[in-house]
Amino acid sequence: MQISVTPFWHPAYSRYGYSYICPSYQRDWSLSVYITNAGHWILDLGNKICTFGEYIPETQPVFHLRVKCLDEDQLLYTYLDFVLEPVTGSQPGGGSVYFHGVGPYTITLDHNDTWCLKRWGTQVKLLCTKSRSLPVGPLSWKDENDICTQLHIESGLQLAPTGVMLTKCSPDHFTCRDNQCVPLEKVCNSENDCTDGGDEIDCFTAHPLATYISTSPPQIPLPLQVDVNIRTADVDLMNAAVRANLRLRISWEDARLEMRHLQNVYKRLTLYNSTLWSPNVQTFNSLEFATTASHPVIMAKRLSPGKRVDGEYLSFPGHGNPVVNIIDLHTHTYCRYDLLKYPDDIQTCNITFQILNVRQDRLKWELPSSSEVKCPVFQEEFWVKDCRFLLPDNFSSRFFVQLTFRRKNAYHIWATYLPCILLLGIGYGTLLLPLDNFNERGTMSLTTLLVFISLYAQTTASLPRTAYLKRFDLWYVFCIAFLTLVIFTNLATSTTTNTRGTTAEGPFWWHPSGPVEQRNEAWSSKKLSNSSTQQQQQQEQQRHEESRRKRKELVLKTASVVLGVTSLIFIIVYFTGAYITM
């Protein structure tokens, strides 16, 4: 096959640059040819390299022998490209095919299913592996003749091979056992892209460097960012405490870590045989030890582009990709409640956290990003009015989550105020009954007062004791005083009939002429028994009874008006003040 081109010199890997001029040359298939990434066909003439054109055959796949060599602090990759060719009589090897290198190398099948990498025209074995089929995919290659030193002989480095693979996949892809190619972004993404699941094996995401110490923080001062998600919060009035279920997200950067397989979302960090440093967080003002709902989870978030480790994974530095410690906590912390305006009160509680394994002068909080707090809108008896993240100062090992609660009015409207108003209405209604129905008026008002006192005692028992009167107490004191005045009014206007058929007046009435019975006895002693005197006596008695009855009706009417207006004014003022303080 003739190629009618004018070749030119292309330098090999050398510190000396261009050195020779290459004449035109007739191509011979028996000679090794390089294919560069730019598509150049390069003929190796010993110490000279000639370019023969820019063409890569599309009908034959190109196989890449990836040789990974380890230097002191870095990995060096070398790719040797091969094309699969049939074995002819003049070609070495015992199989029907061999890998013809575009450099001075071939891979041929020897005996016992052994494939070996050799230099063209020699029998010197560089690498060997066993395979009953083509030696592609993840196989174990044996270094027979210090392959890394020979490949990098011009660098003068003493290198050791750490991995060899023959694959048709590009460096941006992972090679499955069946030679299937999977993009590196899909390796260890919790989905089996390889048919045998080989891309989900050895998916440890955190790889500490040799200098990593799990008991020491990454740097001093250590920048921290905290996000708080309060899921539930409940007020415990009797124990002067607040219960909360919350999730803490504490973020920091650790340059001592190499992270792998990070996705665009949070990825859990797993290690093979070590532990990671993380902040030790405890509640400070807790009535009992805070318990975790589950084991804390340490994750990482991909924020910077990863570095490709050819054909294996994407590597991400610890700097620029934060580590996140996710902690679910159940807390029961002390809270000082102010019940002066109960049940229209607004309570503020602080949940204090402290980081124990970092000194306060070695912390630096990332503000304002650490001020984000998510809180529930309402709970069973309270509205959560506000949630805040607070710090004593920027260099402190403590931080606070402040919760502000506002009690729901609907609860006490139905459970307290409405029953009380109904009882007040019943007690007030006894003033509107007829004057002669003292038994009904007295029984109803007294029973109402007893029920009210029982309700007050029951409600007070469910609240903590205080040395001051609450607004709630003021409401009950007024209602009890109101019902007491109603009972006094009913007693003052009482009239009962004794067993002899005579009437007995209430204890608060003055009789200017003395009792009727005494006057009857006086008249009897004087023996005034004529009919005219008896008629005068009856008329006088009727006038007295009519006068007393009118006075009693006036007292009832006046009391109903005064108590009604007073209670109405009190209720308006009470609820107006409660509305203003909301």
Could you report the per-residue pLDDT of 354-370, keeping only the tens digit for each? 898 888 878 888 766 66
Cα-trace Rg, the chain? 49
Which domains are seen in the chain, by residue range? 1-56 (no CATH), 61-168 (no CATH), 208-407 (2.70.170.10), 410-524+546-580 (1.20.58.390)
Average pLDDT for residues 407-414, to the nearest whole number?
81
Least confident of 47-51, 153-157, 422-426, 440-444: 47-51
How would residue 91 be classed by pLDDT, with cut points 50, 70 and 90?
low
**Tens-place pLDDT, residues 457-507:** 888 888 888 888 888 899 999 999 999 999 999 888 876 555 555 555 555
Average pLDDT for residues 172-186, to the nearest whole number?
89
DSSP strand pairing (373-374 vs 222-236)? parallel
Task: Please tell me whether residue 293 adopts helix, strand or coil conformation.
Answer: coil
Of 443, 505, 445, the C-alpha closest to 479 is 445
**Tens-place pLDDT, residues 352-410:** 898 988 888 788 887 666 666 777 766 777 888 888 888 877 667 888 889 998 888 78
More confident residue, 579 or 181: 181
How would residue 52 be classed by pLDDT, with cut points 50, 70 and 90?
very low
Residue 253 pLDDT? 92
pLDDT over 70, % of the chain: 78
Residue 40 to residue 10: CA distance in whole angstroms: 10
Residue 512 pLDDT? 47
What's the half-sphere exposure (Cβ side, CA atoms, 13 Å) at 267?
24
Least confident of 270-274, 455-459, 546-550: 270-274
How would residue 60 be classed by pLDDT, with cut points 50, 70 and 90?
low
**Tens-place pLDDT, residues 117-164:** 998 878 888 999 998 888 998 899 998 888 888 887 766 677 778 889
Residue 15 pLDDT? 30
Residue 503 pLDDT? 54
Average pLDDT for residues 520-528, to the nearest whole number?
49
More confident residue, 30 or 399: 399
Of 63, 67, 64, 19, the C-alpha closest to 45 is 19
Q: How many CB atoms lie within 10 A of CB 73?
A: 5
More confident residue, 543 or 477: 477
Which DSSP letter does residue 416 get?
A: I
Flag whether pLDDT at 43 surpasses 80. Answer: no
Per-residue burial over 96-113, b = 16 or more CB atoms within 10 Å of its CB, e = otherwise: eebbbbbbbbbbbbbeee
Average pLDDT for residues 11-35, to the nearest whole number?
39
Residue 89 pLDDT? 59
Flag whether pLDDT at 510 surpasses 50. Answer: no
Which residues, in sequence order, are CB contacts of 524 under 8 Å at separation 6+? none
Residue 367 pLDDT? 67
Average pLDDT for residues 292-316, to the nearest whole number?
84
How would residue 538 be classed by pLDDT, with cut points 50, 70 and 90?
confident
Flag whether pLDDT at 522 surpasses 60. Answer: no
DSSP strand pairing (97-101 vs 382-390)? unpaired
Residue 268 pLDDT? 85
Which residues, in sequence order, are CB contacts of 530 under 8 Å at separation 6+? none
Tokens 């209430």, located at residue: 506
Residue 505 pLDDT? 56
